[in-house]
DNA sequence: CCTCCGTTGACACTCAGTGCCACCGGCGGC
DNA sequence: GCCGCCGGTGGCACTGAGTGTCAACGGAGG
């Protein structure tokens, strides 16, 4: 990893940490970009070189979940049934959230409770749906069914996230996902 | 209906028509609120008294679909299975879209193709999900399953809308929904 | 040492969205 | 008919998000 790359990564980390800390305390809307960059020690212009919008600084934190799903699917045997492939992909993503509980939980709670963040997250999720559906059609699934299956799986995903991030929840997220797939799996 | 109410409705119609016409031609992002209000003949300030955001002027056009779903569910017999209730609710909403094809189709196409509009629409849809899930739990469905069922049904809903609004599509939307429920229904 | 290139900061600008106040027009009471 | 009330409106100023531009800085390589 290059020096320049590490410097850029450092700026990203500083900005995301400042944003997350401020927004967790004050709330998303009332936290201004000016406050974030002041805390992080960079200029306002630099913020928008790294993030397309104020929402992006948090949504970006969950973006790697899409990569996790994609990679997981790629590693599954081609003959595996769609429902099983999807379950593994989502389980891997949720497992990653559970591992980094401290950070992921704060982000998910903030996203699910803030309308504009939820909106941007769901938009991102619809990109995941396109990706997942593409992976299924590549495995020979009918295009319409692939869209439905991907959409259904992601609906289960957010429902599990909602349960998991609910205050006072003691449920294991992967167990929740398994329960969801007990119901939904046969239909995919 | 009051005189004042009709005057307000007139302003809403004028603004939505101006917005829809401009955005369909130029695209959503490049259409400014100033242009919309100039076309509609009201002040900028008035626009934001009727719509919470620039996105809202289009998303609001689809808001009644939520009411259609709610009313449809209320009219179904209490003992009807959840899958059938949901199918009727969505079928009624989609039927309404099909009837007003000229306007609804333009709106749906614009919403599905514009990221920020899609984001706001999906956020609205997540409110529908809460409403639908509540209706199911009121009918005795387990809360987790109700959330899953509502999310799955709405995932089918957008998939059908996507097919229906695709350029050159000749599919009947209600038939598409029925096909989707052939797969998904048993799992709900 | 100099040049090239990527990153940054500063400034100016557009546009979305909000608070505030003054104004107008209908409507009921006197 | 006059007056006060009130919902809707327009104008204005302001904050904050997001973008284009340019000059300056600093490291990598010749």
Across the interface, whether the CB atoms of A155 and B148 are under 8 A apart is answered yes
Contacts of A130 in chain B (CB under 8 A): none
Q: Are B182 and B105 in a shared domain?
A: yes
Is pLDDT at A5 greater than 90 in this prediction? no
Q: Are A109 and A181 in a shared domain?
A: yes
CATH of the domain at A37: 1.10.10.60
How does pLDDT run across B117-158, given as a tens digit for each residue? Answer: 999 999 999 999 999 999 999 999 999 999 999 999 999 999
Residue B175: what pLDDT?
A: 96
Residue-level length of chain A = 188
Contacts of B155 in chain A (CB under 8 A): 148, 151-152, 154-155
The answer to whether the beta carbons of residues B80 and B138 sit under 8 Å apart is no
Backbone angles phi, psi at A2, to 5 degrees: -65, 160
Is residue B154 less than 8 Å (CB to CB) from chain A? Answer: yes
Q: Is B78 helix (H, G, I), strand (E, B) or coil?
A: coil
Q: Are A98 and A43 in a shared domain?
A: no
Q: Are A122 and A65 in a shared domain?
A: yes
Q: What share of chain B is helix, strand, coil (3-state, %, to 5)?
A: 80, 0, 20
Is pLDDT at A114 greater than 90 in this prediction? yes
- From A94, A114, A125, A63, select the one nearest B158 (Cα to Cα): A125
Q: Which residue segment(s) compose the domain that B84 sits in? A: 59-187
Mean pLDDT of the region A89-108: 92
Query: pLDDT tier at A27 (50, 70, 90 boundaries)?
Result: very high
Q: Are A27 and A63 in a shared domain?
A: no
Backbone angles phi, psi at B106, to 5 degrees: -60, -45
Is residue A110 less than 8 Å (CB to CB) from chain B? Answer: no
Q: Are B78 and B117 in a shared domain?
A: yes
- From B60, B177, B71, B33, select the one nearest B120 (Cα to Cα): B60
Q: Are A14 and A74 in a shared domain?
A: no
Residue A100: what pLDDT?
A: 86
Which of A53, A71, A92 is where one domain is finished? A53
* A185: Cβ contacts below 8 Å, ≥ 6 apart: A83, A84, A87, B187
How many Å lie between the alpha carbon of B72 and the closest alpha carbon of chain A?
23
Which of A15, A33, A53 is where one domain is finished? A53
Residue B1: what pLDDT?
A: 67
CATH of the domain at B93: 1.10.357.10
For helices A173-184 and A82-99, what crossing angle results, to 10°? Answer: 160
Query: pLDDT tier at A127 (50, 70, 90 boundaries)?
Result: very high
Across the interface, whether the CB atoms of A186 and B187 are under 8 A apart is answered yes
Query: pLDDT tier at A2 (50, 70, 90 boundaries)?
Result: confident
B45 CA to C18 C1', in Å? 9
Q: Are B23 and B116 in a shared domain?
A: no
Residue B4: what pLDDT?
A: 78
Q: Are A84 and A148 in a shared domain?
A: yes
Residues of chain B with pLDDT under 70: 1
Q: How many domains does chain A have?
A: 2
| Cα A87 to Cα A85: distance, rounded to the nearest angstrom | 5
Q: Are A27 and A64 in a shared domain?
A: no
Residue B135: what pLDDT?
A: 97
Torsion of CA B104, A117, A168, B134, to 10 degrees: -10
Tell me how many residue pairs between chain A and chain B have CB atoms under 8 A apart: 82
**DSSP H or E stretch at residue A99:** helix A82-99
Nearest CA in chain B to A124: B119
Q: In chain B, positions 162-181, which contact chain A (CB-CB < 8 Å)?
A: 162-163, 176, 179-180
Q: Are B150 and B79 in a shared domain?
A: yes
Longest CA–CA span in chain A (Å) reads 53
| Cα B147 to Cα B129: distance, rounded to the nearest angstrom | 7
Which of B53, B72, B93 is where one domain is finished? B53
Q: Are B37 and B129 in a shared domain?
A: no
């Amino acid at each position: 990893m290059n020096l320049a790359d590490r410097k850029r990564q450092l700026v990203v980390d500083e900005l995301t940490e400042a944003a997350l800390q401020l927004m967790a305390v004050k709330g998303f809307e009332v936290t201004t970009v000016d406050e974030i960059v002041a805390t992080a020690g960079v200029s306002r212009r630099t913020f928008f070189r790294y993030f397309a919008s104020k929402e992006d600084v948090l949504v970006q934190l969950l973006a790697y979940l899409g990569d996790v799903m994609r990679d997981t699917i790629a590693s599954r045997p081609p003959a595996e049934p769609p429902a099983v492939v999807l379950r593994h992909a989502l389980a891997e993503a949720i497992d990653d959230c559970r591992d980094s509980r401290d950070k992921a939980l704060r982000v998910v709670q903030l996203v699910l409770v803030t309308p504009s963040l939820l909106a941007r997250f769901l938009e991102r999720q619809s990109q995941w749906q396109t990706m997942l559906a593409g992976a299924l059609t590549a495995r020979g699934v009918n295009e319409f069914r692939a869209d439905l299956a991907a959409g259904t799986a992601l609906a289960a995903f957010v429902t599990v996230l909602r349960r998991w991030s609910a205050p006072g929840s003691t449920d294991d997220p992967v167990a929740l996902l398994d329960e969801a797939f007990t119901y939904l799996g046969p239909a995919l």
